[in-house]
Structure 1
Amino acid sequence: MLRRLLPVVLSLMVVVLGVTALAARPQRSVPHRTADFVVIAGVAGLRWEDVDPQTTPTLWRMAEQGSIGSLSVRSAHRPTCPMDGWLTLGAGSFAAWSGNRPAGSCPAQTVAVERPDGNGANLPDQETVVHFNQEQLPWGAMPGSLSESVRCSVAVGPGAAVAAARPFGRVDRYAPALPDDPTQLLGSCVLSIVDLGTVDGATKAQRVAAARAADRQLARVLAARPPRSLVLVAGVSDTDRSARLHVAVADGPGWEGGWLTSATTGRDGYVQLVDLAPTALAALGRPMPERPFVGRPAVAVGGRPDLADAIAQPLDAEREAANQRGVAGWFFTLLAAALMLLAVAVLPLLRRARRHAGPYGPEPVPRRVVALVELLLIAAALAVPAALLADAVPWWRADRPGLAFAGVTALLVVAGTAAVRFVPGYRSTLGPLGAVAALTVLVVGADVLTGSRLQLNGVVGYSAQAGGRYAGLGTVGLGVFLAAALLSAGWLAQHVRKGWRPAVMVAVTGLAVVIVGSPYLGADPVGAIALTGGLSVAAVISAGGWLTVSRLAWAVVAAMAVTIGLAVVDLRRPAVERGSLGRFLAAIGDGSGGLPLHRSSTANFDTLVSSPLTVLALAGALLVWFALLQPWGGLMRLFGIYPAIRAAMAGTAVAAVIGGVLGGVALDVAGAAAALVVPMAALAALRVLDHSTDRTVPTAGRTRAEDAGVAGDGLADPSGPTPSGQEPPATDRGTGAGRTADPGEARADRRPPVPSPRPSRPVTAR
């Protein structure tokens, strides 16, 4: 009865842990009406490096008394050109002005503005732009959603006209430039959008001149601002091929001296361009449009230092993010190449690792060579956590940041490898695997618990410039963390009686589910759902046996229960507070779910064909399938001897595939997990093959079945598959209650080994 109820109890535990982790939300101040007027002043290309007390004194004083942040100007195209940025601002979603432009460039674009009545204006190209965004782009943005949400709006300049134009092209009130006294114009509507120009130029002097001109225009806007108004200054776009972070400043009642943040970023000091439209409506107390914005209202939070120190932080982050893109490319390329070279080196060792008891056989590989390859496998498995930890050192400030990162990472890999080499139990079969997994969980988990500072703009993290993620676990972090958590759980479970192994798997990996899914920590609900699925599969087969239909059914039920529980909780929240799963289900309900599915499939395909992690995943799968799982590969023997490790690796495969597909990153999660799991699987297989001819010496007074079924992680686990007619395999040294009867070693409670009738070494024929 206990055996029958155990899957039910474990499934309930997984469901409770998963829903608890995903249901809670960080407490943020709810945006409320703070202004009677909102003025959005946009400057294309304005970055924090352009702001100082001498060049931009007006903006400097405004930033001192207001709230500031780094603005990601992501749009439907990359890079975000000025027209794309202005259109995205007015749409509140990722939009693009036109598809007729060379990829990766920002050509000069002009917008036709007609003024038939001299008061408002009309954009004749607006209908074409709306059709392009609605029909040909995966985001389905509606240009003009911001202006449609207010009674009237004012636009000053051609860029502002693009942002303020309604979907049919009408601009309520328009002026090509600021009048001599803009007070009456800015006070005529509750929403005003002003184009202050563009900061661009090939030289520093040109950028300084453009920033000074924009600052003079801003001074006129601030002097004419209506009473009780919120003024937002934003660098709305890039001006060249480089994707950069830009200026965001909010000044008005309730926005004094803080950091800007929003629910889309989840990190203080960072906002997105799509957040400005909902911020304006929330400040005015206006309802959001029927077609939801992608962005969320920004809020001001405390903790900002002096302005000079505050600006230094985004500048340093900008420099790190700029160097991160190039370094990450060659790091993962080199890692994939190194793992493939190690796979080639491991193949002959696997073929010759098994000891031959007959008179003929291949010469064994020298122990020093095997030991060296084992250390290289450990180093390869530790490369990703070492690269994550390397971001604790400011390598991006060096003259040659790539070499600085390589040096720091190499030192950390050597230190980690030495630590694993000298841990107690290193000589046991599972010793290195458990040590590497525990070290990885410690590094990644500590970073997540302390705010994921190492992953932000890190080489193995995510870039704020890309605009995809700003807090929590990134794609690579999720892959190595879920693999390390499951392997750690499997290693611990192998050291207890088999009846307790599923409980150990649930307890250890369930804590990892909480860390991954909690909005306070990992903030990755898709990753938590994926890890729950992998945990469910691992728990039901950790005690041995095969993945039967009933066991698979319980695993699926547990994973689906967590997903449904999260969906119910998320859908009960207001629309502006929902997570990705809640927004997707709401879109399915109102008939617009095709857009998220299209975006996910497009992202999966693009990532599949362009990411170096795809090579890691495929290379790891080929090595496992065509080598390690072969009769001479040792992995099947490892699985039969250590069922908890088999369960952990099976759960890792399930979780990595689910997390990648649902997260829109294809095989990237699997590639990151493979970078840890495959080297450790190869090392453990080498050691298992090295003990393949060992035999347990029966103890006097005990039956052979009793010796074979010793408690712990004995090699002859009664639940593991044992070929009929063979001797029960020996217990691996140092891993359980029984021990291998190695040559030259005798114990008082064991019979002496029976001499072999044939020499174990090859005999040369004379």
Structure 2
Amino acid sequence: MLRKLTPVLLTLVVVALGITALAARPERGDPDRGADFVVLAGVAGLRWDDVDPESTPTLWRMAEEGSIGSLSARSAHRPTCPVDGWLTLGAGNFAAWNGSRVAGGCPATGVTVEQPDRIGANLPDQESVVAYNQDKLAWGATPGALSESVRCSVAIGPGAAVAAARPFGRVDRYAPALPADPAELLGSCVLSIVDLGIVDGADRATRNAQARQADAQLARVLAARPPRSLVLLAGVSDTDTPSRLHVAVANGPGWERGWLTSPSTNRHGYLQLVDLAPTALAALDRPVPDRLFLGRAAVPIDGRPADLRTAIDERTDADREAGARRPVAGWFFTVLATAQLALSVAVLPLLRRARRHAGPHGPEPVSRRVVAAVELLLIAAALAVPAALLADVVPWWRGQHPGWWFSAVTVALIVGGTAVVRFSPGHDRTLGPLGAVAGLATLVVGVDVLTGSRLQLNGVVGYSALAGDRYAGLGAVGLGVFIAGSLLCGGWLAQRAPRAWRPMVMVGVGSAAVVVVGSPYLGADSTGAIALTAGVSVAAAICTGGWLTMSRLAWATMAGLALTIGFAMIDLRRPEAERGAVGQFLAAFGDGTGGLIVHRSSAANVETLVNSPLTVLAVAGAALVWLALLQPWGGLMRLFGIYPAIRAAMAGTGVAAGIGGVLGGVALDVAGAAGALVVPMAALAALRVLDHATDRTQPGGRPSVEAGSGAAGGPSGGDRPGGGRTPGAVGPGGAGQPSGDAGPAGASDSTTEAGDGCPDARGETETAGSVAAGRPARVPAQGVPASTVVPTA
């Protein structure tokens, strides 16, 4: 009865902890900062390095009095051209202007603005732009949704006309340029949108001159602003490639001296262009059309440095890091994929020759030095992604050649991590390097998440604020590494525990990982937590040995579904601005727009699958496992038979990484990051197991076992004088005791680490092959000479 109830109890534990972690939400800032008027002023291309007290004194004073942040000017096209930025501002959603454009460039033609009367204006192309965004693009944006949410709006300048035009093209009130005294115009409607010009070019003198002109325009706007008004200034678009972070300033009652943030970023000092429209409506106390808007209303948060120069330098440094990240990340993952492919090819001949001949004749074994060198390379390859994440502790992006600085720091960390693993206690054991590498990877990602995910934001293996996909918590690469590391740690610990306790150990470690991934205070990845729950359930179900039966798979599936349903019920009860990905999808499905979310996720999966180097890592890792490691000569099946908890951990990693990638819209990125850690460690452990696959007990010597012998020629196992190797065979005394590498207290690895070589009540021993098959194979414990024992397959 207890055996039957165990899956139920474990499922309840995982689900309860997961829902507890996902249910709590961080406190949001108070959104009730009302205003009678809102003025949205935009300057295309304006960055924080363009702001200083001499060139832009008005903007400097406005920022000193108000709240500031870094703006991700993302639109439906990349780069975000000025017309795309203005259109996205007015849509509250990722939008783009239709028209021909070269890759990485912007349309050459301008926007046609007609003035049939002296009051408003008309955009004749607006209807075709609306059709293009709703029919051709995945975001379903409605240009003009902001102006449709108020009774009257004002537009000054051509860019503002694009933002203020209603879906049928009408602009309520329009002026092609800022009047000498704009007070009357700005006070005629509750919402005014002002185009203050453009700042472009790489020349600093040119940018300063253009910023000075925009600042003079801003001074006239601030002087004529209506009473009780909120002025939002934003760098609404890019003007060159690559994309950059831009200026965002809010000045008005209740917006004094803080950082700007929004629920769409959940990161202090960051907001998106799509957040400006709901911010304006929230300030005016108008209902926000959540079905049309992807953004969320921004709020000021305390914590900004008292000195404005320090705060601006921090924003400028973030922009510099985000700009340097993209090219460095591209070549890093390309080099990583190439290196792991080359290492996989190099391991193949070692796997073929790792199994030693039992007889006096056979092929010469591979040199111990070669094997040791390959082991170190496998450890270094597995530590590459955690080392690249940790490299962001050093400000490599501030150097003249950031790519070289990042390379130097990452290589140094890889060498240091490899040395720690090599000289750690238990390195000579079969699972020693696997446990150490998994522990280091989990520690690096976990500590970063617990301290606010500072290394992942704009990090090379993290996520970029320029992409606009994620600003806080765990990214796709971090999720993959954390899934693999935590499950391998759980498997390593479970393997050292008595068999009856292994599911408990796996659930304990896995549940803690689910909390870290899913908590909105930490990883903030509800879909990742659901995927990890399924992986933990699978791992707990098979960590004692045997196959993944239908009943075990059913319990694992029920755990994932129970967590999903439980969190969905809680998430749907929250305000719309605070819902997570699960709640947003279910709400959209209920109001008929769920298909659009599915379309976006599918498009994101396809784009990532085609363009990401991590796809190569995932496919190459799967090919090495399937075509080599899982073959009879590959050693992985033998490893799984001797260490069922490791097999369970790797199976759970595959399940969780696959589900997490699909649900997160990142295709094989999660699986690629997990494979970069798991596959090298699986190859290393397989090499060590094969090295002892045909060992015999030698009379007069102490027997050893695979679990306690090192393939690199360490001090354990048969490398001792007179030491023999007998995995899963009968000891020299023929009394039925398992052979093993006798430790300080006479214990062997087969009982303390493998846990599956212990004799049962009839004096018989489970072999590695029997554990893999889920059934005990009986080997006679008495009357069999040691020299005639047949090695387990």
One-letter identity of the residue aligned with 1:44? A
Q: Match for residue 515 of structure 1?
A: 516
Separation of aligned partners in 1, 2:638 and 2:107: 61
Q: Which amino acid aligns with 1:388?
A: L
Name the SS of the counterpart of 1:713 in structure 2.
helix
Q: Kindly indicate whether the alpha-carbon contact (under 8 Å) linking 2:82 and 2:239 is maintained by their aligned counterparts in 1.
A: yes
Task: Specify the SS of the correspondent of 2:232.
Answer: strand
Question: 1: distance between equivalents of 2:83 and 2:754?
Answer: 67
The answer for the alignment partner of 2:49 in structure 1 is 49
Equivalence for 1:123? 123
How many angstroms apart in 1 are the aligned matches of 2:556 and 2:290? Answer: 39
Indicate the residue corresponding to 1:254 in structure 2: 254
Match of 1:289 in 2: 289
CA contact under 8 A between 2:49 and 2:316: conserved in structure 1? yes
The 8 Å contact of residues 494 and 645 in structure 1, kept in 2 or not, is answered as yes
Give 1:460's aligned residue.
461
The 3-state SS of whatever aligns with 2:467 is coil
Task: Kindly provide the amino acid, as one letter, of the partner of residue 169 in structure 1.
Answer: G
Partners of 1:487 and 1:95 lie apart in 2 by 43
Equivalent in the alignment of 2:754: 714
Q: Is 2:165–2:171's contact at 8 Å kept on the other side of the alignment?
A: yes
Contact 2:21–2:515 (Cα < 8 Å) also in 1: yes
CA distance 1:184–1:730, shift in 2 (3 Å) = closer
Give the direction of change, closer, same or farther, for the CA distance of 1:94–1:528 in structure 2 (3 Å limit).
same
Once the two structures are superposed, residues 538-566 of structure 1 have per-residue CA deviations (whole angstroms, 9 ceiling, x without a partner) of 11001111100111000000000011111
**Between 186-195 and 99-108, the greater mean CA deviation after superposition:** 99-108
Instruction: Give, in angstroms, the shift of residue 599 of structure 1.
Output: 1.0
Aligned twin of 1:631: 632
Gaps (5+ residues) in structure 1? 732-749, 761-766
Q: Is the contact between residue 732 and residue 786 of structure 2 (CA under 8 Å) also seen in structure 1?
A: no
Alignment map for 1:344-423 (pairs within 5 Å) = 344-423=345-424
Q: CA–CA distance in 2 between the matches of 1:430 and 1:682? A: 11
Letter aligned with residue 464 of structure 2: S
Match of 1:34, SS state, is coil
Moved more, 605-614 or 199-208: 199-208
Following superposition, the deviation at residue 31 of structure 1 comes to 0.9
Does the residue aligned with 2:329 lie in a helix, a strand or coil? helix
> Secondary structure of 1:391's match?
helix
Letter in 1 for 2:250: A
Equivalences for residues 64-103 of structure 1 within 5 A:
64-103=64-103
- Matched residue type, 1:48: W
Task: Give the match's secondary structure for 2:249.
Answer: strand
What SS does the corresponding residue of 2:393 show, helix, strand or coil? coil
Whether contact under 8 Å (2:90, 2:143) holds in the other structure is yes
Distance 1:64 1:290, change over 3 A: closer
Matching residue of 1:21: 21
The structural deviation recorded for 1:705 is: 8.4
Structure 1 counterpart of 2:35: 35
TM-score computed with the length of structure 1 as normaliser: 0.93
Letter in 2 for 1:335: L
Query: Could you tell me which amino acid in structure 2 is paired with residue 692 of structure 1?
Result: A
Distance 2:234 2:280 in 1: 13
Report the identity percentage.
72
Equivalent residue for 2:341? 340
**Deviates most, 546-555 or 467-476:** 467-476
Q: Is the counterpart of residue 665 in structure 1 residue 666 in structure 2? A: yes
Q: Partner residue of 2:722?
A: none
Aligned partner letter, 2:146 = L
Partners of 1:639 and 1:528 in 2: how far apart? 26
Deviation at 1:730, TM superposition (A): 12
Q: 1:367 to 1:706 in 2, by over 3 A?
A: closer
C-alpha contact 1:698 1:751 (8 A) present in aligned 2: no
The answer (yes or no) to whether the contact 2:154–2:173 under 8 Å persists in 1 is yes
Aligned residue number for residue 443 of structure 1: 444
Return 625-634 or 102-111, whichever deviates more. 102-111
Question: Alpha-carbon deviations, 1:47-93, whole Å to 9, x = none?
Answer: 11111011100000000010000000000000000110001001000
2-side partners of 1:44 and 1:757: how far apart? Answer: 82
Structure 2 matches for 1:666-681, cutoff 5 A? 666-681=667-682
Q: Could you list the per-position Cα deviations for residues 408-432 of structure 1 after superposition, in whole angstroms to 9, with x for gaps in the alignment?
A: 1111111111111111111110000
Aligned to 1:63: 63
Following superposition, the deviation at residue 715 of structure 1 comes to 6.4
Maintained 8 Å contact 1:37/1:230: yes
Q: Structure 1 residues 366, 256: closer, same or farther in 2, change over 3 A?
A: same
Partner Cα separation in structure 2 for residue 147 and residue 625 of structure 1: 57
Q: Which runs of structure 2 are paired with 1:588-627 in the superposition (5 Å)?
A: 588-627=589-628
Which whole-Å deviations, capped at 9, do the CAs of 1:511-570 have from their partners, x for residues lacking one?
011101111111111111111111111110011111001110000000000111111111
Asked whether 1:152 is paired with 2:152, we answer yes
Offset of 1:356 from its aligned partner?
A: 1.3
SS at match of 1:633: coil
Aligned AA (2:218):
L
Are 2:757 and 2:766, in contact at CA under 8 Å, matched by a contact in 1?
no
CA drift of 1:716 comes to: 3.8
Question: Compared with structure 1, are the counterparts of its residues 687 and 608 closer, same or farther at alpha carbon in structure 2 (3 Å cutoff)?
Answer: same
Aligned-partner Cα distance in 1 for 2:632–2:694: 15
Structure 1 residue 468, shift from structure 2 partner:
1.4
Inter-partner Cα distance in structure 1 for 2:198 and 2:158: 12
Residues 119 and 414 (structure 1 numbering): CA distance in 2 closer, same or farther, change over 3 Å?
same
* Alignment-derived partner of residue 208 in structure 2: 208
Q: CA separation in 2, counterparts of 1:606 and 1:730?
A: 43
- Which amino acid is 1:62 matched to? M
| Unmatched tracts of structure 2, length 5 or more | 696-725, 741-747, 771-780
Distance 1:404 1:372, change over 3 A: same
User: Superposition pairs for residues 157-168 of structure 1, below 5 Å?
Assistant: 157-168=157-168
TM-score of the aligned structures, taking structure 2 as reference length: 0.90
- Structure 1 segment 183-582 matched on structure 2, within 5 A: 183-289=183-289, 291-305=291-305, 306-582=307-583
Q: Does the 8 Å contact 2:90/2:146 carry over to 1?
A: yes
SS at match of 1:55: coil
Q: Distance between the aligned counterparts of 1:69 and 1:103, measured in 2? A: 29
* Deviation, structure 1 residue 697: 4.2
| Structure 1 residues 706 and 421, CA gap change in structure 2 (3 angstroms) | closer
Q: CA deviation at 1:479?
A: 0.6
- CA distance in 2: counterparts of 1:55 and 1:207, whole angstroms: 10
Cα distance in 1 for partners of 2:593, 2:787 equals: 74
Give the Cα–Cα distance (whole angstroms) in 2 for the partners of residues 63 and 174 of structure 1: 28
- Are 1:715 and 1:729, in contact at CA under 8 Å, matched by a contact in 2? no
RMSD over aligned CA atoms reads 2.4
- SS of structure 2 residue aligned to 1:339: helix
Equivalent residue for 2:111?
Answer: 111
Offset of residue 292 of structure 1 = 3.7
How far apart, in 1, do the equivalents of 2:629 and 2:618 lie?
15
Following superposition, the deviation at residue 17 of structure 1 comes to 1.2
Quote the offset at 1:360 in angstroms. Answer: 2.4
Give the number of aligned pairs. 738
Q: CA deviation at 1:699?
A: 7.9
Q: Which amino acid aligns with 1:402?
A: G
How far apart are 1:710 and its partner, in Å?
6.5
Matched residues in 1 for 2:76 and 2:769: separation? Answer: 61
Q: Return the alpha-carbon distance in structure 2 between the equivalents of residues 709 and 110 of structure 1.
A: 74
Describe the superposition over 1:652-685 as per-residue Cα deviations: whole angstroms up to 9, x where unpaired: 0011111111111111111100100000000000
Q: Answer yes or no: is the 8 Å Cα contact 1:44–1:199 preserved in 2.
A: yes
Question: 2:499–2:755: 8 Å Cα contact kept in structure 1?
Answer: no
TM-superposed CA distance for 1:702, in Å, is 5.0
The amino acid across from 1:714 in the alignment is: A
2:308, 2:495 → 1: CA distance?
55
Distance 1:54 1:709 in 2: 72
